[in-house]
Every structure is written in C-alpha cells, then in structure tokens.
Amino acid sequence: MASVVFADLVGSTGIFERLGDETAGHFVTQLTTALAKIFEQHNGRVVKMLGDGLFVVFPQEVQALTACIAIQERLNQKPVRPGGTGRPVQMQMGIESGEVVEIQGDCYGDAVNTAARLADLAGADQILTTQRVREALPPTRQGQLRSLGPMYLRGKAEAAEVFRVEWQPERDAEATVMGMSMLDTAPEAHLQVNVGGSMLTLRPRGEPITLGRSATADLTINDVRVSRLHATIEWRGGNYVLSDGSSFGTWVYFGNQTEPVVLRRTECYLVGQGQIALGCDRNSEAAPMASFAVVT
C-alpha cells in the first residue's frame, strides 16, 4: 500500500505564452525542484517530474496530506509570481492510496490513475482526495476534509465520494461577534455558466439555472440533440450540482481531463472549471456546449 500525490501547476500554458518557452521553462523547473524538496522532507519519493507538475509516492496517507498542505501554505504565505509579475503560482492536487506496482522506477496502479484524475478535477489551491484516504487519517486530520459528494471519475463505473481538504480553516470558520455570525459577510464562490457568449451567474442560495432547447430555459441551446429541459444547475448544501434530465445525456469535462463524466439521469458536483456538452460528447460535429467556472 502507498499514498500517491499528483500536484499540477495551474495555468502553465499562460505562463509559457507570456514569458516565452526558455524563461518559462527555467521558472517551472526551479519551482518543481523546490516543491520536490518539500515533498521529500515529508518522506515522499518523487517518481516523476511531469513538466509542470510532480508525481510523488508516500508510505502513509498522513504524510501525503501533510506535505500537500505544507506546499499550499508555503505558496499562500510567500506568493511566487512568474517573471516577478502577474498572478501568483497556484497548485491543484490529488491524493489517493492503494496498491502500487513499481516497474523500473515508475509506479502503476489504480491509485495512481485516481490521484491524477483528482488533481485534474481540483481547482486552483485545492487538494482533493477520497474516502479511502480519509479513513486512514487520524481524527484531527479527518476534520479537515469536507465531502463534495459522489463523483464519477474517468474510467470508474461507480461514483466515488470525493473530499476537499480545508487547509485554510479561517475561510470556513463561523466567527461570531456580538452574537452575529460573520459567515454571511465572507466572500463565497459563485458559479459562472456561459453558452455562446451568454453568461449567467449562480450564487449561493440563488435560483437554479436551467439549460435546454426550450425558449423558457435560462440558457437556451437550439439543437436537436438538446432536450427541452436538458439539465439543471443548483446550489445545494454548499456545492453546485449539475443534474441531467435529458434524453441523450450530458458530458462533463473537468479541468484538463480529456475523458468526460457522463450523466444519464444522474448528477455530479461542479468544481473548478470545465465544459458541458449536451446530448453528445464535445468531439461530435458542432457539439452544443456550455462552459462553467467556480469563481471566488
């Protein structure tokens, strides 16, 4: 058994476009080398440098989690800006544990695949993990995990419960002053949905957004593959949930994932950013598409 971590740099393509290949390549190499040292300090073994990310294996789940939190905290406390300007570097991470097979220094197995898919699914500054990892953590660490509910990961026939690591507890603490909760005054993430240049914003506790062929849908998509009321996005229990109610299904692409989560009268949580194809996959001719992004 081992714990696997994938850590990816968010928006690396933009860094290369802004700085040029040579400067950006030097920056990314320096960054991943520095991050590798932090992983190694927590007993991690860097299996591969992945250009703009790292693939690391740990003996124990708590070591993997502690290392990931340490890196996120480091980047938060001491922001690193590519070329000294622009937005600070952000990482997206995934952690899974399970049987890992090592062949000539490389590692393979279901846990490796799942960790990579969780990293793709994660948004900027996020760490995602699974119930398996949670059960192996001490109670104090379990308390840092917040369930995002069941999600269909690429290649999996069944949904798995995914957890987000709350490594910045001050964001979620319900501070009370003079008997009044300050939670409502804190900034909350909202969801932006864009169809053909028309964008709607869904905020916490806001009214659901409907997508479909009907003129009464909030976002209308006139395509025969799209049902009259194809899908609904709502805020539920602190998360944004996409529900498919169509005839032909809905394909959801998270982050950099090339394989979709396919919904057929089922639902999934929307995290990070991605694309929604209605009635067919996005590679189909003139596929009806929507994009989404969870923005803080």
Per-residue pLDDT, 157: 64
Q: Which fold has domain 187-295?
A: Tumour Suppressor Smad4 (2.60.200)
Cβ-based burial of 157 (10 A; exposed 0-12, middle 13-18, buried ≥19) = exposed
| Alpha-helix runs per DSSP H in the chain | 12-19, 21-41, 61-77, 110-121, 131-136, 139-142
- Total-model pTM: 0.62
Domain boundaries, the chain: 2-171, 187-295
- CATH architecture classification, 2-171: 2-Layer Sandwich (3.30)
Mean pLDDT by 10 residues, the chain (296 residues): 88 76 82 91 89 89 95 88 76 90 83 88 85 92 84 69 80 34 50 93 92 94 94 87 90 83 83 92 94 89
Burial profile 220-241: b = 16 or more Cβ within 10 angstroms, e = fewer: bbeeebbbeebbbbbbeeebbb
